[in-house]
Chain A
Amino acid sequence: MSDPLVTMDLHPQPGAGQLKPWEFPVPEHGSLASGLALQRCHRPGQQVMAIEICMDAPLDAEPDGLDGIATIMVHALEEGCGPYTAEEFAAELERCGATVGSRVDYTGARISMEVPASRLERALGLLAEALRAPTFAASEVDRLVRNRLDEIPHELASPPRRAAKQLSAELFPSSSRMSRPREGTEDTVARIDAAGVRAFYDAHLRPGTATAVIVGDLAGIDLDRMLADTLGSWTSPLAPTAPAQTVTADQASRFVIVDRPGAVQTQLLVGRTGPDRRDPVWPALVVGTYCLGGTLTSRLDRVLREEKGYTYGVRAFAQVLRSPAMAAADGAAGTSLLAISGAVDTASTAPALADMHSVLRTLAAEGLTDAERDLAVQNLVLVAPLRYETAAAVAGTLADQVEQHLPDDYQAELYKRLAATTTGAATDAVVAAFPPDGLVTVLVGDAAEIRAPVEALGIADVTVVAN
């Protein structure tokens, strides 16, 4: 080699081999006598099974003034049930090598469990007890309430979480559940008690409006019998579905600084609302958003990180908040959050915002290139077998399809639609999603340092709120 810094024989870049076919699996349906809908999916070799229970208990269903009760309720399912105390139940789950997580969102409540196949039946039995016969002991609910109250200061101290809380409050009217923290505030959580938790459980947790998703290596497992013997014990009459609220959002362009004196970085969260996955624009939105901020070679990081060094990385994303059933929608369409998120050092706050707006304006004026579109589509489509290597990943997406009222073949079809997305369509979608003059920008940082430089940008009005 002529270059002394090259010590090897250089070879030309190799081409690709033969692409092996792969498709996102379509689940097999069933149901139990209780009305619990079932979706199962056999994934050979996956010895850690994934179970998702999707329940029609969304945040919108919470009674007025009791924000957070749905989350406390799903957590309380694990704090004693049937013959088990809270400690015994946790011990039994861990004895199975099982892990369980639960959360509530605008799309519903969900319990996610993973467990080695050899202990599936035992773990399903425990899950069934929690759903069928929760104890809701006053002492345990009180502990969850007090824990939750003590967690709130930790969340407010986290820059990304503080920014998310502020953006929700800015975008949505105070009457909307979406304007307020998912797990409630000090005021609302303090009002929650065991009686309220049981009332919420009675009203909203019904097998007839729930779906269980089971994914893993099902070979040699008599799943029908196993499910009938376990989750089949959870029975109760059908309850009416809570109507979804109509969502409105105030997207007027503005900067809001959450003042954090002395902060060495500013957390940025720039957002507005957009459509859900059923909107025909979704695949183009996914492609365009990747081009804008999907990775460190996307437009934003190419400048903000790899050219300027202002940040460890910023990302653009589209996250579905709610996607009500068509039939029950009554004109209420689905909603997503479209956002750009990241952190920049304090001194670079205004320069980074200026560059971000410049990137957005250039994108609107000149559009995406075919090369960018191709790179994005290839990544988004070809990464699927890797993304869905585990049972948990497949189960999670199947559960999302359930919660967002999407057809069984949605994910499989999405890959075809991504592949068919044109550069022009991706440009139109991302420009509509991130209009420079229609974004709400939250900055969690040191107002004394960043306010004047941000105002001097002349992009939009700046207000400061206390941390």
Chain B
Amino acid sequence: MGQTASHDIRAGGLTATEHRLANGLRVVLSEDHLTPVAAVCLWYDVGSRNETEGRTGLAHLFEHLMFQGSAQVHGNGHFELVQGAGGSLNGTTSFERTNYFETMPAHQLELALWLEADRMGSLLAALDEESLQNQRDVVKNERRQRYDNVPYGTAFERLVAFAYPAGHPYHHTPIGSMVDLDAATLEDARAFFRTNYAPNNAVLSVVGDIDPEQTLAWVERYFGSIPRGTGKVPPRDGTLPETIGAELREEIREEVPARALMAAYRLPHDGTRDCDAADLAVTVLGSGMSSRLYNRLVRRDRTAISADFGMLRLVGAPSLGWLDIKAASGAEFAAIEGAVDDELTRLGADGPSSEEMERAQAKLEREWLDRLGTVAGRADELCRYAVLFGDPQLAFAAIGKILDVTAGEVRAVAAARLRPDNRAVLEYEPVTATNEADQAGEDRDDQEEAGQ
């Protein structure tokens, strides 16, 4: 059948098997018969980092076009067939990948595989100018709704542009610019498909109430004849110094409801032990209602109404730490920033307490339980580890690695990375003039979706 079965690995009761078709499509299967549902997830190894100058937003715009029909699926047939079968579906685009997923009642699994294969092998038979024009307008409205018409909505875009310099493949976010969206042509879309949408540039996972042998036979039947692609262009080199080197800062005067202090930090690459340590460091500092920054700024100083610190894991460039503090009325930047500096410096000097480590690890463990607890979440994680790290089994080992990190390692990464010379700062100062330009979201999504 062209695939070679490989090893099973058990982790927390979860298992997965790996297979490969002759055309290079990697397939990951994981059985779970608790609920009669099956998740299909397909990751293409292409994201906004693969875009070229003047064509930002193309990967995401293209993702929308994947729902506009293929040789045997007409118009919005993909949505209609999946939803009519009782399934749910979507696609999302981020810096490093594009994913498509259908979660189906178990008896409709074959339909989802057929649909994904049809568009992988025949999208160009249906792709036309009318679809492109329409989805271009839809995506521009997505950009307005999620970023441009939302207070602080362009903060993420600004921070990313700050942390990754001009010309860097991560300098722009997946949503792209209005000018580039307008400039995209049908030929751009066709070339993007031919270059990136090939079986040997994708991983398919199927998780849930499945018969693995039957599932593999279907995968072979529907995907097996799609030819291997040859045009893959690797993304531009994302190598950067580990730290920014000097603090960057911008004051933004906009019609926002309150002062806000935001900052981006370069953090270790995903897949490293230092990255897990950094995850714990930002969790100790700014996740939940017992974090250092929440206790300090919201509970004690009362200079802020929210204080969040999160991390966007990246493989091809330094990961991004994102600090987001909304000020209480009357609070000054200097007081907030001084307190933030105190807390970051203290963590770098003394490290977290054993209680803080226990809480942060419990919190991250819980997040993993939630993600692996649904068939769709598990399918996505298996694809993630297969595409970005070459081994889906790592999905089951990930939480163990986080629980293995020591307080000393958290201290060390805080000292090395959570420093003023490794951050880009945005100070939002509200203005009341009604003719100010764009307003800006608290939306921290790093990815764009095809449907709401």
Contacts and interface: CB of A to CB of B under 8 A. Distances in A.
Contacts of B295: 87
Contact of B144 (A296, A343, A389): A343
Interface stretch (A9-17, A26-34, A168-176): A9-17
Given A150-B329, A261-B434, A7 B121 contact: yes
A48 B76 CA distance: 36
Contacts of B218: 14
A20 interface: yes
Contact of A157 (B144, B145, B256, B451): B256
Contact of B114 (A13, A156, A158, A389): A13
B185 to A, nearest CB: 17
B226 interface: yes
A158 B257 CA distance: 10
Contacts of A21: 36
Contacts of A305: 138
Contact of B302 (A45, A91, A143, A158): A143
Nearest to B283: A94
B122 A10 contact: yes
A297 B76 contact: yes
Interface stretch (A66-74, A189-197, A310-318, A403-411): A310-318
B84 A375 contact: yes
B111 to A, nearest CB: 6
Contacts of A381: 86
Nearest to A149: B329
Interface in A70-96: 78, 86-87, 90-91, 93-96
Contacts of A3: 71, 122, 125
A153 B257 CA distance: 5
B148 interface: yes
Nearest to A315: B452
Contacts of A157: 151, 256-257, 439
A222 interface: no
B103 interface: yes
Interface in B55-109: 71-72, 75-76, 79-81, 83-88, 103-109
A194 to B, nearest CB: 16
A424 to B, nearest CB: 20
B329 A20 contact: no
A444 B377 CA distance: 36
B157 interface: no
Interface in A292-313: 295-297, 302, 305-313
Interface stretch (A199-207, A236-244, A262-270): A262-270
Contacts of A308: 134, 137
A327 interface: no
Interface residues on A, range: 35 or more
Given A17-B108, A17-B110, A386-B105, A262 B83 contact: no
A272 to B, nearest CB: 23
Nearest to B34: A45
B36 A20 contact: yes
Contacts of B111: 13-14, 16
Interface in A104-156: 116, 143, 146-147, 149-151, 153-154, 156
Contacts of B118: 10
B246 to A, nearest CB: 32
A78 B37 CA distance: 37
Given A16-B107, A94-B290, A343-B145, A46 B114 contact: no
Contacts of A19: 105, 107
Nearest to A446: B434
A42 B168 CA distance: 51
A5 B257 contact: no
A45 B374 CA distance: 11
Contacts of B151: 154, 157-158
Contact of A153 (B75, B121, B133, B258): B258
Given A20-B107, A99-B366, A386-B103, A8 B122 contact: yes
Nearest to B146: A312
Nearest to A154: B257
A116 B107 contact: no
Contacts of A46: 373
Contacts of A296: 76, 79, 451-452
B359 A345 contact: no
A382 B105 contact: yes
Contacts of A65: none
B298 interface: yes
Contact of B110 (A14, A91, A310): A14
B452 A94 contact: no
Contacts of A20: 36, 105-107, 209
A45 B86 CA distance: 23
Contact of B106 (A17, A159, A375): A17
Contact of B36 (A22, A47, A78, A97): A22
B359 A95 contact: yes
B361 to A, nearest CB: 9
A146 B328 contact: yes
B307 to A, nearest CB: 12
A75 B148 CA distance: 32
Given A17-B107, A386-B88, A97 B37 contact: no
Contact of A312 (B142, B226, B258): B142
A91 B355 contact: yes
A47 B34 CA distance: 12
B121 A8 contact: yes
B137 A97 contact: no
Contacts of A382: 85-87, 105, 108
A99 B144 CA distance: 32
Contacts of A358: none
A390 to B, nearest CB: 6
8 tightest CB-CB pairs across the interface, nearest first? A382-B86, A309-B137, A8-B121, A153-B257, A97-B366, A20-B36, A17-B107, A90-B290
27 contacts: A3-B122, A5-B124, A5-B125, A6-B122, A6-B125, A9-B225, A11-B221, A22-B35, A22-B36, A87-B290, A87-B299, A97-B362, A116-B365, A143-B299, A147-B328, A150-B328, A157-B151, A157-B257, A264-B148, A265-B141, A295-B79, A297-B83, A309-B133, A309-B137, A375-B83, A381-B86, A382-B105
Interface of A: 3, 5-11, 13-14, 16-22, 44-48, 78, 86-87, 90-91, 93-99, 116, 143, 146-147, 149-151, 153-154, 156-159, 261-265, 267, 295-297, 302, 305-313, 315, 343-345, 374-375, 378-379, 381-386, 389-390
Given A94-B290, A306-B76, A378-B84, 10 more contacts: A14-B218, A48-B369, A78-B289, A87-B295, A90-B290, A262-B436, A265-B144, A375-B80, A383-B105, A385-B105
